[in-house]
Amino acid sequence: MSWTEERVELLKKMWAEGASASQIAKELGGVTRNAVIGKVHRLGLSNRNAGAPAQGPAAANKVEAPATEPVSAAQPEEVAEAAEEKPAQPQAEAAVSQQPQPQLRKIIPAGQPLPPQPSANEIDPEALARVRKVESKALRLSLMELTERTCKWPVGDPATDDFWFCGLPVQHGKPYCEAHVALAYQPMSARRDRRR
């Protein structure tokens, strides 16, 4: 394979849209992610910032480097990435500390469709309890961090900052981890006769 104009165009487009090198390589076919990265550098667009908003609303930052001096260092800045994580994230394998799940957070009305989570009266109490435990071990990945083998079960309200995906290893071939597969693929027999 060679870098025809078409392929370069697709590369540019995808890269600008925030796709990873491996994703682009897969899409193009016939090249590895290394090839893509190499090309990206040769094209001189390793700086993905200028061009398209990769993610989030705060993407109006231009990285214009004046030949003079970066004196104006105190710009509006991106206040965004202040969304740190709890001091010490309990290692997955470590002792499972039973955290009471501090669901007490600033609640912002959705104003948009909620993720496809089964309504409370549709899942059996036992499974619900199981999910609680799983959620405590979840990797809490962001949309961008999901891959073909990370559980894509959404938790929380996408309109708030308390939204994440499970992220645990998926069940072979399924989009969810073992626990969430159990929830997502309930046999009719199990769902039957669950009064509301």
Residues that bind DNA (CB under 7 A): 1-3, 20-23, 31-35, 37-42, 46, 147-149
Question: Between residues 48 and 130, which has the closer beta carbon with respect to DNA?
Answer: 48
Question: Between residues 18 and 115, which has the closer beta carbon with respect to DNA?
Answer: 18
User: Do 142 and 164 form a contact (C-beta atoms < 8 A)?
Assistant: yes
- Please give the Cα distance from 123 to 33 (Å, whole number): 42
Min separation Cβ 36 and DNA, Å: 8
Amino acid at 4: T
Min separation Cβ 68 and DNA, Å: 24
Alpha helix positions (H), the chain: 5-16, 21-28, 33-42, 125-137, 178-184, 188-191
If you ran DSSP here, which 8-state letter would residue 143 be given? G
Nearest by Cα to 20 from 9, 7, 33: 33
Min separation Cβ 16 and DNA, Å: 12
- Please give the Cα distance from 156 to 72 (Å, whole number): 39
Min separation Cβ 112 and DNA, Å: 28
Question: Between residues 85 and 193, which has the closer beta carbon with respect to DNA?
Answer: 85
Question: Between residues 80 and 108, which has the closer beta carbon with respect to DNA?
Answer: 80
Structure tokens at 158: 């996408």
